Amino acid sequence: MLVVITEMTRPDFERYLEEEKHPVAILPCGSIEQHGFHLPLGTDILNSYATAKALAEKTNAVVVPVCSVGDSVHHMHFKGTISIKPMTLVNILLDIIESLATHGINKIIILPGHGGNQWPISLATREAIIKYDVHVNQLPRRPK
């Protein structure tokens, strides 16, 4: 069973929407930043994506592409960090949610993998509920 939208064809996705009574999308949201000398810069991305895939396989949800960059300004003094402004992240999330809602997915779970993304995710969640008449839940960040 395919659970990652980027691995699906359009007919696969259309079939999913037809067969799934209550389609759900999981949106992992990570960051690119340091995690000490021993872990990759994409640790938050890798963790949130793996968790999203495991959850989707158990619940028949669909995983949408990882939001790979986040609000990591507090790590900018470490080489390799890539940070975006909080409102940029809010707008990216809203655009993704609007796209999903347009295609009939009105239940979205945002899976944060980075603590710095909590505020932008909360704001995007509230805005999306009002703007797009969707149900959006933010899962708690998974401890490292």
Q: Regarding beta strands 62-63 and 24-29, do their DSSP bridges make them parallel or antiparallel, or are they unpaired?
A: parallel
pTM confidence score: 0.92
pLDDT of 144 > 60? The answer is no
| 53-107 pLDDT per residue, tens | 999 999 999 999 988 999 999 999 999 999 999 999 999 999 999 999 999 999 9
Nearest to 20 by CA among 96, 132, 94, 107: 107
pLDDT in the model for residue 75: 92
| Angstrom distance (rounded) from CA 25 to CA 74 | 30
Q: Percent of the chain beyond pLDDT 70? A: 97
Tokens for 44, please give them. 């938050």
Q: What is the C-alpha to C-alpha distance for residues 109 and 88, in angstroms, rounded to an integer?
A: 19
